C-alpha cells in the first residue's frame, strides 16, 4: 500500500521528533516523539486538553509547528530539505502533501448541501483531477465497503450519525490516502452506533492502512492497535503494545487516567 522511502529520520510511516506547538503563550505540544510503522495502527489516549487534536492537525499541516520535525511517508511535513537546510514548502506543495492524508473528525464535517455521492467524488475530481465516471465508480465501491450502497443519493441530514461517519470515512478513502487520521471518530455517536463505525475501521486496519486513532474506545485500542500512546501535557508520557500499556502500566499519570476511564 505504501512506498517506504529512506530518510534521515528513519524508515517509518510517521515520525515525530520533538514536535512543539504554542498558541500565543500557551505551549500545547511540548516535544512530542512518536514513530508509527508502515501498515500499523497507533491509538492515542489522553485527557482532554492534552494536545491530541493539535498533534493530528500538525500532521496534516492544519497547524504549523513551532519546533521539531514531522515526517509522513518519508517526507517532511511542510518543509523541503536542500543542502542541509530546511525551506518552507509552497502552498501547492503543502496541498499535495495534505491530499495524501485522510482525516476523520468527531463531527463528520460532510458538505450538507451535497448528496453522499457528491461528497465523496468532490475532492477526487477537483484535487486529484480524476474523471467523473471513474470517481463515481470508485465512490460506489467505497460505499459498498462501508455498507451504504443504498445511500448514494441521500443527503447527510437524512442519515444517522453512524452512517454519516461511515460516509466521512469513504470520502477520506476516495483520495487514496497513505495515512488515515481519526480524531475521536465515535465520540459524538449514540452508543448503539459506535460499533458500525469501529467495524469499518477494523476492516481498514486489517487491509494494512496506516492509521493514527485518537479514541476513548479502549476495547478497540486493545484489539486493533499495534501501539498505544498515552499523551498528557503535550508530550507522550508512555507508549507500548496494548498489553504493555493496559496490563503493565508504568507511569503514575497513565495509571491515574486509565483508572478513571476503564
Report, in Å, the least distance between residue 257 CB and ligand ADP: 12
Pick from 48, 52, 172, 153: nearest CA to 104: 172
List the single partner that 177 binds among Mg ion, ligand ADP, none, CB under 5 to 8 Å by kind.
none
Confirm if 43 and 239 have CB atoms less than 8 A apart. Answer: no
Residues that bind Mg ion (CB under 5 A): 52-53
List the single partner that 49 binds among Mg ion, ligand ADP, none, CB under 5 to 8 Å by kind.
ligand ADP
Sheet containing 210-214: order of strands: 101-104, 179-183, 210-214, 41-45, 227-232, 235-240
What single string gives the DSSP state of each residue in 35-83?
EE-TT-EEEEE--TTSSHHHHHHHHTTSS--SEEEEEETTEESSEEEET
Q: Which is nearer to ligand ADP, 48 or 153 (CB)?
A: 48
Q: Is 12 helix (H, G, I), strand (E, B) or coil?
A: coil
Report, in Å, the least distance between residue 227 CB and Mg ion: 19
Report, in Å, the least distance between residue 63 CB and ligand ADP: 7
Q: Which is nearer to ligand ADP, 63 or 93 (CB)?
A: 63
Q: Which is nearer to ligand ADP, 161 or 233 (CB)?
A: 233
List the single partner that 164 binds among ligand ADP, Mg ion, none, CB under 5 to 8 Å by kind.
none
Report, in Å, the least distance between residue 238 CB and ligand ADP: 15
The separation between the first and the last C-alpha atoms of the chain, rounded to the nearest angstrom, is 35
List the single partner that 28 binds among ligand ADP, Mg ion, none, CB under 5 to 8 Å by kind.
ligand ADP
Q: Which is nearer to ligand ADP, 52 or 178 (CB)?
A: 52
Q: Which is nearer to Mg ion, 12 or 55 (CB)?
A: 55
In the chain, which residue ranges form alpha helices assigned H by DSSP? Answer: 52-59, 91-99, 116-126, 132-145, 161-173, 191-206, 218-224, 242, 252-261
Please report the sign of the dihedral spanned by the C-alpha atoms of residue 83, residue 88, residue 93, residue 98.
positive
Residues that bind ligand ADP (CB under 6 A): 23, 26, 28, 46, 48-54
Report, in Å, the least distance between residue 224 CB and ligand ADP: 20
Amino acid at each position: 500500500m505504501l512506498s517506504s522511502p529512506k530518510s534521515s529520520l528513519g524508515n517509518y510511516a510517521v515520525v515525530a521528533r520533538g514536535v512543539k506547538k504554542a498558541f500565543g503563550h500557551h505551549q500545547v505540544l511540548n516535544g512530542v516523539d512518536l514513530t508509527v510503522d508502515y501498515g500499523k495502527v497507533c491509538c492515542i489516549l489522553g485527557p482532554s486538553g492534552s494536545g491530541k487534536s493539535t498533534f493530528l492537525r500538525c500532521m496534516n499541516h492544519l497547524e504549523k509547528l513551532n519546533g521539531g520535525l514531522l515526517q509522513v511517508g518519508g517526507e517532511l511535513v511542510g518543509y523541503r530539505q536542500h543542502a542541509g537546510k530546511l525551506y518552507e514548502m509552497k502552498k501547492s506543495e503543502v496541498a499535495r502533501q495534505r491530499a495524501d492524508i485522510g482525516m476523520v473528525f468527531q463531527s463528520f464535517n460532510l458538505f450538507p448541501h451535497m448528496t453522499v455521492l457528491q461528497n465523496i467524488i468532490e475532492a477526487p475530481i477537483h484535487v486529484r483531477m480524476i474523471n467523473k465516471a471513474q470517481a463515481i465508480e470508485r465512490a460506489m465501491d467505497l460505499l459498498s465497503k462501508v455498507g451504504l450502497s443504498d445511500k448514494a443519493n441521500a443527503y447527510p441530514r437524512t442519515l444517522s450519525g453512524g452512517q454519516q461517519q461511515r460516509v466521512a470515512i469513504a470520502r477520506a478513502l476516495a483520495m487514496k490516502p497513505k495515512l488515515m487520521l481519526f480524531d475521536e471518530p465515535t465520540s459524538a455517536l449514540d452508543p448503539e452506533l459506535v460499533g458500525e463505525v469501529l467495524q469499518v475501521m477494523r476492516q481498514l486496519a486489517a487491509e494494512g492502512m496506516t492509521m493514527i486513532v485518537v479514541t476513548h474506545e479502549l476495547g478497540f485500542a486493545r484489539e486493533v492497535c499495534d501501539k498505544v500512546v498515552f499523551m498528557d501535557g503535550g508530550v507522550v508520557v508512555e507508549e507500548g503494545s496494548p498489553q504493555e500499556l493496559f496490563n503493565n502500566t508504568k507511569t503514575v499519570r497513565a495509571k491515574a487516567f486509565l483508572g478513571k476511564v476503564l
